Amino acid sequence: MIRHLFQLCPQPRLLIRLSALHAVLAVLQGLLLALLIPILDAVLRPQPDFAAATPWLIAGGAGLVVYAALTAIATPVGFAASMDLAAQLRHRAIDHATTLPLGWFTAEHKTRLARTVTADASNIGQLAVTIGAPAIISTLVPATIVVVTFAVDWRMALLFLALAPIAFLTLRRAARIAAIADAELDAAATEIAGRAIELGQAQPVLRAAGHGTTGSARMRAALDEHRASYRRGLRRSLVPDLTYTAVVMAGFVAVLALGAHLMLSGELEVAEAVALLVLAVRFLEPLGGLIELIGALRAMDNAIVRVRALLDTPALPVRAQPVHELADAAIELSGVTYAYGDRPALSDVSFRCEPGTTTALVGPSGSGKTTVTRLIARFFDVGQGSVRIGGVDVRDVDPAVLLEDVAIVFQDVYLFDDTIEENLRLARPDASWEELEQAARAARLDEVVERLPDGWRTRVGEAGAQLSGGERQRVSIARAFLKRARIVLIDEAGSALDPENEAAVSEAIANLTRDRRRTVIVIAHRPATLAAADRVAALDRGRVTETGTPADLRRSGGTFARLYDQYDHARSWRITAR
Ligand SMILES: Nc1ncnc2c1ncn2[C@@H]1O[C@H](COP(=O)(O)OP(=O)(O)OP(=O)(O)O)[C@@H](O)[C@H]1O
């Protein structure tokens, strides 16, 4: 565990200094106790010899001063080490998370990441200090006392030595059970965190279903499981904990019995017997305390394992000499196959999109449209085949260059709770006002900004809640303009937009392709977008079934024609229903 802790910590300077300080303190404590032997020997005689005791008392006093000084130093070092360790772990976890494939960020992994960065990092930082220090003392003080005891009476020293492995074995069993209990408790706590996020996000659905105030059954089940794991842990650890305490107590009885025997048989002086008794107490007391530390030590060990699991997750592979410039924005998929685990999503998908064109992806739900866009943006890598941009396999492109050249307009656009200006500047922080306004005009965001009470300085609310879905999409398209991304991947809103937003978003998409260097792929749901596309790729169950111009495909009467009629029918139904 100690090795793992040091491996996790790239700069363990403070941790090493702290551990060394506590090791010195532990040995010093043992040596100070050893001074009792000559002092008691000089004082507990029929004729006390204070002169003989004086040098030892002076040495003891000096030792206590050093001990106090080192303890005073250890406190701020411990605090700094705890904060430093937690900060280093957070940075490592976050830095590593930014290198992971975007496909890794599932709801479960996001909750795990949040817990690693918050709970695990601070627990490791705190426990390494609050538990690490007593753990060092609880092992080094008894070890020093064993050495010292050999100087007084070898039989007592051997008894101490014999007790240590028995205590260690029973402690190990208690530790194993504590580790299992902690892992179960942490899994239950992570489940609660996940359910809490879900509960917040799913409030509209829950309320619509009449569960707004009572909360979800899944949350209650998670809370029940957490309580049950806690009880299970307590029940399981009862016997091993009691066994360990019994071993320590039995050790104490054995020490008393041996001390009494040696004294009664005249083999030990009273002073030596008293000194040994004090040493025995200081030998057994920290051992007894270990049982209380072990649960926390195992909790720290489990937290270390979780942080390591995150850090060991393979990053998106980057070539040693990646391509830094893409000749153009032509996109070509050749024989692309992809599966989520063992669930196939795409099989042998091939099509090409030329710069300056818009390609509409159509197909029934689950046909693989989103997966195609994810692979182009390299959220994850293809199983077989290749995705090429400007003739270069995306796996060979510098990820930063890819991020710069690709803009994604999601169906559900996430905006930060900040001004509309800052939300746009995210795409290019150093953009001038003129560029900002130009991007807004092209995305038809300018008319939204004009309507807002504080114009560009209007805050959009949490996740952009103060803007409608269509308005949020316009912000996202404006970001793509501002970023000067040559590839724009759009997941058009599937749900109904009001006519004004629908027309605005369609015009914004059309504006994107005015730049002949830009390639646009849109997962289309509206007949207007389908009709305006230069080309269409129709997907069904992960395969491309048709490609061609919208007019040709409508005439051919295949999947596209059927879907087009469905969308058109749904639209006219919506209009009539209004
Ligand atoms: N993260 C994921 N993990 C596992 N399976 C997934 C994941 N995302 C998509 N799938 C599965 O892959 C297949 C293709 O999904 P994809 O989202 O690409 O389809 P789609 O055509 O975009 O669907 P929709 O129009 O409903 O958004 C589906 O069977 C889907 O269930």
One domain, residues 357 and 240: no
One domain, residues 292 and 348: no
- Beta carbon of 372 within 6 Å of any ligand 1 atom: no
One domain, residues 34 and 183: yes
One domain, residues 114 and 235: yes
- The answer to whether residue 14 sits within a structural domain is yes
One domain, residues 344 and 303: no
Nearest CA to ligand 1 atom 31: 366
- The answer to whether residue 193 sits within a structural domain is yes
Spatial distance between the Cα atoms of 337 and 334, rounded to a whole number of angstroms: 9
- The answer to whether residue 464 sits within a structural domain is no
Q: What is the pLDDT of residue 573?
A: 52
What residues make up the domain containing 352? 331-414+484-577
CA of 149 to the centre of ligand 1 (A): 70
- Beta carbon of 342 within 6 Å of any ligand 1 atom: no
Averaged pLDDT of the chain: 83
Domain end point (choices 262, 282, 312): 312
- The answer to whether residue 431 sits within a structural domain is no
- The answer to whether residue 409 sits within a structural domain is yes
Domain end point (choices 280, 312, 344): 312
One domain, residues 248 and 383: no
What is the position in ligand 1's atom list of the atom closest to the CA of 103? 1
One domain, residues 228 and 127: yes
Q: How many other C-beta atoms are found inside a 10 Å radius of the C-beta of residue 160? A: 25
Place 212 in a pLDDT band, splitting at 50, 70 and 90: low
CATH number at residue 58: 1.20.1560.10
Spatial distance between the Cα atoms of 533 and 348, rounded to a whole number of angstroms: 23
Closest CA to 175 of 6, 299, 289, 286: 299
Q: What is the pLDDT of residue 575?
A: 44
Mean pLDDT, residues 259-281: 82
In the predicted structure, residue 569 carries a pLDDT above the cut 70? no
Q: How many other C-beta atoms are found inside a 10 Å radius of the C-beta of residue 145? A: 25
Q: What is the pLDDT of residue 395?
A: 92
Who has greater pLDDT, 410 or 383? 383
Q: pLDDT tens, 162-174? A: 888 888 888 888 8
Nearest CA to ligand 1 atom 23: 366
Q: What is the pLDDT of residue 353?
A: 92
Task: Tell whether pTM > 0.90.
Answer: no
In the predicted structure, residue 392 carries a pLDDT above the cut 90? yes
- Beta carbon of 369 within 6 Å of any ligand 1 atom: yes
Mutate to test the pocket of ligand 1, among 102, 343, 490 (most ligand atoms within 8 A of CB): 343
- The answer to whether residue 427 sits within a structural domain is no
Nearest CA to ligand 1 atom 30: 366
Place 2 in a pLDDT band, splitting at 50, 70 and 90: low
Percent of the chain at pLDDT exceeding 90: 14
Nearest CA to ligand 1 atom 16: 368
Mean pLDDT, residues 335-359: 91
- Total domains in the chain come to 2
For 309, residues 6+ apart whose C-beta sits below 8 A from its C-beta are none
CA of 314 to the centre of ligand 1 (A): 23
- Complete DSSP assignment for 380-429: S--SEEEEEETTEEGGGB-HHHHHHHEEEE-SS----SSBHHHHHHTT-T
CATH number at residue 522: 3.40.50.300
Mutate to test the pocket of ligand 1, among 105, 108, 369, 543 (most ligand atoms within 8 A of CB): 369
Who has greater pLDDT, 71 or 414? 71
CA of 368 to the centre of ligand 1 (A): 6
Domain end point (choices 247, 279, 312): 312
What is the position in ligand 1's atom list of the atom closest to the CA of 367? 21
Spatial distance between the Cα atoms of 420 and 103, rounded to a whole number of angstroms: 28
- The answer to whether residue 149 sits within a structural domain is yes
One domain, residues 254 and 284: yes
Mean pLDDT, residues 5-22: 77
Q: What is the pLDDT of residue 578?
A: 40
One domain, residues 92 and 191: yes
Q: pLDDT tens, 58-82? A: 999 999 999 999 988 888 888 888 8
* ipTM of the complex model: 0.96
CA of 547 to the centre of ligand 1 (A): 21
In the predicted structure, residue 464 carries a pLDDT above the cut 70? no
- The answer to whether residue 357 sits within a structural domain is yes
